[in-house]
Each structure stands twice: as C-alpha cells, then as structure tokens.
Structure 1
Amino acid sequence: MPTIKSNGINFYYEERGSGEPLLLIMGITAPGAVWNVHVADWKHHFRCIIGDNRGVGQTDKPAGPYSSEQMADDYAGLLDSLGLDSVHVVGCSMGSTIAQQLAIRHPHKVKSLVLMCPWARCDNYAKGLFRHIMNAKAKFRPEEFSLYIQLLIFSKSSWDNEEKHAELEAGRNQDAVNPFPQPLHGLEGQAAACISHNALNDLGKINKPTLVIGGREDIFTPVWMAEEVAGAIPGAELFLYEKLGHAFHFENTDDFNIRVKNWLSSVPA
C-alpha cells in the first residue's frame, strides 16, 4: 500500500482511475475509504487521489493539536511526491477547511475547488460541538460514537427510510470492528484543527473556480456557514440540497456524483 513521507509524517494514499487528477479530502474521524461510493463513478472520468488525513486511517497519528494549515501542507507534500502541478480538489467538512488552506497557501497546486458542507470559521456553538465530539469519543464504545456522528450528519429523511436506516445500523456494526480505529488523540488533534480554522479574511484571495455545496437541514455545519464561504470567495457558486443534511452526498449519491462530475468537467483546461 502506498505511503509517502510528507510534512514530517508517513502519509497513506490510494489512486484510482485516469484522467485529470482529482484530490479528495475527507472530514473529521473519516479515512479516505469513505470516498468509495463517489470514486466508483468518478474513477471513470478522473485520476482520483485519496488520502487518509493526519490522525486517522493508515496515516501517522501524532499527538496534536493539528491545524488546517498543517494538514493542507500534508497534501501539498503528497502532490509534490506525485509530481502533480495542479489538481481539482474536493473537500468534505473538515476536508473543506484543508482544501481552503491548500488554495490559500499553495494556489498554484489547485485548479478548482468543490467545498462540501464547509465553514470559514467556527462560532461558539460549533466550537462547543467539536468539544462534545471529543468528549463522546472518550466515553463511548466505537458503535455508540458512530451513532452519535450519524445523528449529527444524516437528515430525518434518512432515518425515516427503512433501507437507509438499515445501512446506518450496518455502518455502526462495521465501526465496532474497524481494523484501523482512530485513537482519541487523533480525533482530538483533528477537532483542534476544526475549531481553530479561520480563513474568512483570506478566502477573497482564492481565484479558482469554486463550487460550494451543502444540505439545508445540516445541523452540524449549518447553512449560514456555506453561505459565508460562498460569499467570501469571488465568483463561487452555491448549491444547497433541500431536505438533506451534512451527509447529503450519501443521502443522494446519484445526483451528487453526477453534479460534481459535470461541474468539474466544465472547468476550463
């Protein structure tokens, strides 16, 4: 399995597909494999590059705190190792904060941005929520912690759908036997990066095509956060799914995959 040295850590990544390079950055607690349902489609159109963030999966998990700037530099090192000058970037939740910093700190490496359920800064509620996530991780069994995260990110429409409800239960059962569980200090490092991220004053420097996308029923990163990010990046487009939450990309995967693929394909070469 491919691992490279980047920014002082051993960084795990995978590649699938061919075409223009597409870097995928996942959110807090999640390894890169969570992109699989999207990469199953996108690999037919793009060279998908999927990393495990610092603190999770098969990448090193040093003691924190981490920062979104530091994690962006992790990915800059990955791109350097792969000899890639400019890539499309899709970042989900915490991954969107990393993608913002990648575009700010390494603008020549970014061709376009898709920022999913993003935030430019945390208000006091968001900071409290991330602190509670750390507390829950410290006290819950893995399947209990998984349930808490599911309650945060999936909308009522998913909980009311029997098929999706069964999928959520299966996901919790898988988390109970995860061969690469995230240690508490890895989650704490990532949560610190989420809390401290504040790029609002620098988003105006981003001059890359940008799509901001979210769900109107997102209780984790509410709509005002997506609207603030889209309003701060010149020319950014904003799309919000009706009746879907933070996990809109799982709740309506077919539409999301096509929507993002078509948008990326429309970016000028």
Structure 2
Amino acid sequence: MNGHAHATDGTPIAYQVRGDGCPLLLLAGQANNHTWWDPIRADFHGTHATITMDWRGTGDSGRPRSAYSTPGFADDAIAVLDALGVESADVYGTSMGGRVAQWIAINHPGRVRRLVLGCTSPGGPRAHERTKAVRRTLALPDAAARREALEDMMYSPRWRAAHPGPRTTMGDPTMPPHASRGHLAASDGHDARDALHRVAAPTLILHGSDDVMTPAANAPLLAELIPDARFHVFPGARHAYFEECRPHASDLVADFITI
C-alpha cells in the first residue's frame, strides 16, 4: 500500500507499507528515499508490517524550500503514523534516519515501542564526526569519483567485489539542489545529546567498526546517553552494515523487536 500523509506545514509525505503484523517504521539515510530499505525490508515481514517514507525533498514527497531539520523530519514521520492510524511502532533508523529516530523517541515517547539506531550519532560538539578528509572526498567535483568514494565508504571492498549491485543507498538522483543542501544541514545541525536521557523505549544500537561516514565511536557514546541501551559493532563493516552484514544484522533487529 502506498499513500501520502500531510505534514503540519502541508507538505505531502509519501509512505509505503509492505507485509503484515506489528508496525515497524524504517527510516533511511540522508538524501535517500524509501528504496534504501529494499534489500532487507522483507527480513522483517515474518512478524512486522514495514512502513517506509520518502523524506521531504526525495521520492514522491513534496520538496519545499523551507528549513529542514531532524526534529522536523521526526514530525513528518509522526504524520505518517497518524495517517495510517498507528498509535505505537517499533522504529529502526539508520544514518540520518537514526538521528530522526532519536527525536521521535524523545518528543513522542508513547509512539515508540522499541528503538533501533544504526550507524548514527547523537550530534553536538562531543560526538565523533567524520573527518575533514572524508568531507572533502564527498564533495569531489567529479560525479563519478564522488560516487566511487561514497560506495567505498558504504561497503567493504571484499563485499563490493562479491555484490556488484545495483545499490539502493547511493542517494536519490532526483533531489533538487536546495533539498540536498537541506538534508546536509539537517544532519550537520543535529544535536540530541542533552535530551537522550528522555528516551524511554528499550534501545538497540548497531554500527560497523570501519565506518568513516559516522565513526563507530558513536555507538558506545549513544549507549552511555540512552538509559539501559545496548550496542553491537560488526567487525570490518562500513556504513551500510545492515546490508553487508545481512542476515546477522537483520536477525539481531528481528530478535530485539519481537521480544
């Protein structure tokens, strides 16, 4: 089932529902749409109906020029749950989606049954952010070189050699420049550190050990900030651990959300 919710500012937010069972909201990374989850969403359909959404600025959602922020994206996600009549869901967010998931759990605690945060950061001045060298690489003027660098940050060389693609985590090519800038500003401006003690949902944190997009040192930091959270790091994995470490990563999530 596909449809549209409407955000508080009227922006249409596209959503997609697959499978049957308890609701599981899946939140994609920066500058990506719902296809980010295509390789693994079926892993959860034995017990859950998966709900994905296109961030504003991507996919079939509206593309306003107003300010973008992770709390704002969280409100968009709540609009999707409201449109579907979902009172409470398990929430699994990766990368920027993990930043957004933090605000859903902080500002809407009754809407989150269990929380999974993948390859993400609490933000703020004490978080472990990507280096200037990584930022320069991601800003390479040559599109082919930039894509090659991004793919290398997402997946280990060994996995890439065995899995030639296509990839669904390389960004939404239809995004207008203002939306791309808005997503970057939202991720860079995220800072939930001082509010994470308010997360009430049981929380699982997952990360790849070799992630340079969002360094793995953020996993224990998040676990320290969120009450009773636990974390797991996948040796040798990079940013897209959820795909490279399948089925182990999906099994950990599935076990956690079916308790």
TM-superposed CA distance for 1:175, in Å, is 7.1
Higher deviation after alignment, 232-241 or 54-63: 54-63
Q: Classify the secondary structure of the residue corresponding to 1:253.
A: coil
- Partner of residue 126, structure 1: 130
The answer to whether the 8 Å contact 2:138/2:146 transfers is: no
1:82 maps to 2:84? yes
The answer to whether the 8 Å contact 1:131/1:191 transfers is: no
Q: Which amino acid aligns with 2:130?
A: A
TM-superposed CA distance for 1:223, in Å, is 1.5
- Counterpart mapping for 1:193-232 below 5 A: 193-232=186-225
Q: How many residues align?
A: 255
- CA spacing shift, 1:55–1:128, aligned 2, 3 Å: farther
Q: Classify the secondary structure of the residue corresponding to 1:149.
A: helix
- Counterpart CA distance in 1 for 2:60 and 2:68 is 17
- Counterpart CA distance in 1 for 2:253 and 2:170 is 28
- Partner of residue 183, structure 2: 190
Q: Which amino acid aligns with 1:218?
A: D
Q: Classify the secondary structure of the residue corresponding to 1:58.
A: coil
Q: Which amino acid aligns with 2:252?
A: R
Structure 2: give runs of 5+ residues left out of the alignment: none
The answer to whether the 8 Å contact 2:25/2:52 transfers is: yes
Question: TM-score w.r.t. structure 2 length?
Answer: 0.90
- Partner of residue 147, structure 1: 148
Match among 243, 246, 264 for residue 239 of structure 2: 246
Q: What is the CA RMSD across the aligned residues, in angstroms?
A: 2.4
- Counterpart mapping for 1:2-81 below 5 A: 2-8=3-9, 9-81=11-83
Question: TM-score w.r.t. structure 1 length?
Answer: 0.86
- CA spacing shift, 1:37–1:125, aligned 2, 3 Å: closer
Structure 1: give runs of 5+ residues left out of the alignment: none
- CA spacing shift, 1:131–1:245, aligned 2, 3 Å: closer
Higher deviation after alignment, 248-257 or 115-124: 115-124
Q: Which amino acid aligns with 2:82?
A: D
TM-superposed CA distance for 1:254, in Å, is 1.2
The answer to whether the 8 Å contact 2:121/2:222 transfers is: yes
**Identity over aligned residues, as a percent?**
27
Q: Classify the secondary structure of the residue corresponding to 2:30.
A: coil
Match among 95, 104, 107 for residue 102 of structure 1: 104
TM-superposed CA distance for 1:32, in Å, is 0.7
- CA spacing shift, 1:4–1:39, aligned 2, 3 Å: same
Q: Which amino acid aligns with 1:48?
A: T
- Counterpart CA distance in 2 for 1:46 and 1:252 is 20
Q: Which amino acid aligns with 2:220?
A: E
